[in-house]
Structure 1
Amino acid sequence: MGKPYPIELRERVVAFVEAGNTHRASALQFQVSIKFVNDMVRLKRESGSLQAKRQGNPGHGKLSKLHEWIRLRLQEKSDLTLDELARELSAQHGLKVHRSSVGRLLHRLGLSHKKRRL
């Protein structure tokens, strides 16, 4: 994901339009797309600010409410595979998730899904 344009550029583009220039002229002047100019003018009109919105995932995935259940399940049966855990999530909670999603969650929680030999 790319970085948002600097606030200074955003302000200059909107000021150029507010000075009576067209969106197309503003895009040519500042070497940006017409859509960017349209978006900035609309953002200024609707919110009064030109701050960039937050990018990326806010962290509210399908599994976010089940962290504790997953921890407890792995304590009960520590030799569960990712596929088995994904099937249990589907059967007990109605969540269809891929094994890689379960693996990433376990990694974030600091848990291991690997079987250990004694």
Structure 2
Amino acid sequence: MAHAYSHDLRVRVLDAVGAGLSRRAAALRYQVGIATVIRWAAHATTTGETRACRQGRPPGSKLDTHEAFLLTLTEEKDDITLAEMQDRLRAERSVSVGLGTLWRFFARRAVTWKKSQRTPPSRLARTWRPRARLGSRPSPTSIPNA
């Protein structure tokens, strides 16, 4: 990801533009892109701020505001799937999210679902051995000598 230019450089460029130098000439003098100087100057005139804005997406998830709703869904139905949660969010809250977003939301909160154990096999199933298939060829040792 690209880094912002230093604040010192921004101030020097904006001071030059403020002193009457054109934006293109300031860009050439300080070896900065023309569009960059134009954006800096427009930002400085509208807001009065010379610092760079924070880069990247703000921290958190768009599901943070729906945390209670999602946790309630998991308490209502133990084996609810992420796709079912996705459908309920869309229908009841008008929030469209991907399955990965839901997955990360629950992973950050250490909410996991464990599959329940199967019913233990019966005693018959534990001792059962498959029989030889019908119509299978006999082994060469089982053929009587003729």
TM bracket, shorter-chain basis: 0.7 to 0.9
Contact 1:90 1:96 in 2 (8 A): yes
Q: What CA distance in whole angstroms lies between the structure 2 residues aligned with 1:103 and 1:56? A: 21
Asked if 1:26 is matched to 2:26, the reply is yes
Deviation digits for residues 15-43 of structure 1 (CA, Å, limit 9, x no counterpart): 12223222111111111111111112222
Matched with 2:76 is 76
| Greater helix content | 1
Contact 1:17 1:23 in 2 (8 A): yes
Normalised to the residue count of structure 2, the TM-score between the two structures is 0.68
Q: What CA distance in whole angstroms lies between the structure 1 residues aligned with 2:45 and 2:13? A: 13
Q: Superposition RMSD on alpha carbons, in Å?
A: 2.0
Q: What CA distance in whole angstroms lies between the structure 2 residues aligned with 1:48 and 1:89? A: 41
Q: What CA distance in whole angstroms lies between the structure 2 residues aligned with 1:38 and 1:52? A: 14
Q: What CA distance in whole angstroms lies between the structure 1 residues aligned with 2:93 and 2:21? A: 56
Unaligned runs of 5+ in 2: 118-146
Normalised to the residue count of structure 1, the TM-score between the two structures is 0.81
Would you say how many aligned residue pairs link Structure 1 and Structure 2? 116
Q: Return the structure number with greater relative CO, CA threshold 8 A, min gap 6.
A: 1
Deviation digits for residues 68-115 of structure 1 (CA, Å, limit 9, x no counterpart): 111122123232221121122223323332211211211223222x43
- Percent identical: 32
